[in-house]
Structure 1
Amino acid sequence: MTEALSAAELTKRAKRLRLVLTDCDGVLTDAGVYYSARGEEMKRFSLRDGMGVERLRDAGIDTAIITREKAEFALRRAEKLKIRAHLGIQDKAAALPEILAQHGVSAEEVGYIGDDVNDLGCIERLREVGLCGAPADAVAEVAHRAHYVTRTNGGHGAFREFAEWILTGRTAAA
């Protein structure tokens, strides 16, 4: 079962956010892999998610990618969105304190969206104090621990929806 927050708690947490960390595969992409005729790996990203990054930025909230992949596509997407990318992070939970320090934030100031079991460590560390989300097609273990599960699948606007939930939460009556 999804870990629902009261409206007052959502507002309190959303107002103190300064950073949203997002997984790449399965959140910003649809978790599929495409290959060109030359064998080049390609991924599909939603432009709506890019607008979510921009809307968060306008509200004073940074975004960063955290992924196990060391792939050029993740770096290129981060560059396009003008956000930081933490690539090749095999144990995201273990790397979390260093990543938060690099961004100058505490756990209470962080939102996180992920879709698979390798995201559970971050969700477990952040859900008591931050805000955690999952795309509609996330694995059950992740969806059950998230505060918010989007109606949209990864790669199809899930990040944008999570961003809008945060922004709406900031202005909700407490």
Structure 2
Amino acid sequence: MKPLESRIECIRVLALDVDGVLTDGSIFMDNLGQEYKAFHVRDGHGLKLLQRAGIQIALITGRSSGVVEARARDLGITYVYQGALDKRLPFVELKKSTGVADHEIAYMGDDVVDLPILSRVGLAAAPADAHEAVLEQVQFVSRHAGGRGAVRELCDLLLRGQGRMDELMAQYLSKQGPA
């Protein structure tokens, strides 16, 4: 099996499930059917750091939600695939759109519906509270639960593994601030 470090070096796209990864899996609905989700701000900032480092971000989710569309727009995420009951179809479309191969994609998922993608990508990741079947198949398990910093932990791992973290942190410490 390929070492984690060599997997990380190849990553050009990070694709994520949403419910249970970017959120804790809870879905709040009011009596009018309006849906609410909570996102961790540090996960979002980690995604922005990856974008600054040239790594593209994609969301592939089985549900469809205006909240997800709004969060993606807020973070500048171009590749958003919702209502994907079979996640293999948007995965193939993502590869065509970005021009990357399987081994250049990292994917974080939390449930069995994510297994078809997790089994193909260069780096398969899961939050700490992912389904047992997922935890058995991935190369990286975050110390954090979904929606509680798991995505940021993966972002930091990618940035460190590609030698970009110090450069990005130096921007925050400079008088000019981040680019």
TM-score after normalising by structure 2: 0.85
- 1:41 is aligned, of 35, 42, 46, to 35
Q: What residue is the counterpart of 1:138 in the other structure? A: 130
Determine which structure has more spread, i.e. the larger CA radius of gyration: 2
In structure 2, what is the equivalent of residue 125 of structure 1?
A: 120
**Unpaired stretches in structure 2, ≥5 consecutive residues:** 164-179
Contact 1:133 1:148 in 2 (8 A): yes
* 1:37, distance to aligned residue in structure 2 (A): 5.0
What is the CA–CA distance in structure 2 between the aligned matches of 1:94 and 1:87, rounded to whole Å? 11
Q: Distance between the aligned counterparts of 2:97 and 2:136, measured in 1?
A: 29
Q: CA RMSD in A?
A: 1.7
Unaligned runs of 5+ in 1: none
The offset of 1:12, in angstroms, is 2.4
Correspondent of 1:158 among 117, 125, 150: 150
Partner of 1:98: 93
Deviation digits for residues 80-107 of structure 1, max 9, x if unmatched? 0000211111101243222211122111
Q: How does 1:72-91 map onto structure 2 within 5 Å?
A: 72-83=66-77, 84-91=79-86
Q: Does 1:65 align with 2:59?
A: yes
Cα distance per residue 1:57-88 (max 9 Å; x no partner)? 12110111000111111111110000021111
**If the length of structure 1 is used for normalisation, what is the TM-score?**
0.87
Aligned partners of 1:77 and 1:16: how far apart in 2? 27
What is the alpha-carbon distance in structure 2 between the residues aligned to residue 94 and residue 62 of structure 1? 19
Cα gap change, 1:39/1:88 in structure 2, threshold over 3 Å: closer, same or farther?
A: closer
Which residue among 103, 107, 114 is the counterpart of 2:102? 107
- Percent identity between the aligned chains? 38
Counterparts of 2:5 and 2:143, CA distance in 1 = 21
The alignment covers a number of residue pairs equal to 163
